[in-house]
Amino acid sequence: MHSIKIHLENEEFQPLVRLAEQLKLDPADIVYAGLNRVMQQVGDAAMQQEILLLKSARQTQLPNWADRAREIHAYESMT
């Protein structure tokens, strides 16, 4: 089995941990679900463009779901 290491800022990691705890899963399960979704949609040009944009943006900014001044995140509004 192969492994991939992903480096997350604390502001990216903490929402992942909270969601995993809420769903009673391991954070790796959330990451795998995200990868599964991407791979299912990778034939779509919009998904390919999003992947390229995220790679570029990640060098200078956090994703929208990362912790920012205690804002409520989209997934947290599910409760």
Take residue 50 and report the two structure tokens written for it: 């999003």
Confidence at residue 51, expressed as pLDDT on a 0 to 100 scale: 96
Tell me what pLDDT residue 15 has. 96
- What pTM does this model have? 0.77
pLDDT at 77: 61
Tell me, what's the pLDDT at 74? 57
pLDDT for 30 equals: 98
Q: What is the structure's pLDDT at 68? A: 78
The confidence score (pLDDT) of residue 6 equals 94
Cα distances (Å, whole numbers) of residue 13 to 6, 40, 46, 60, 69: 10, 24, 26, 17, 15
Does residue 63 sit in helix, strand or coil?
coil
- Residues of the chain whose pLDDT is less than 50? none
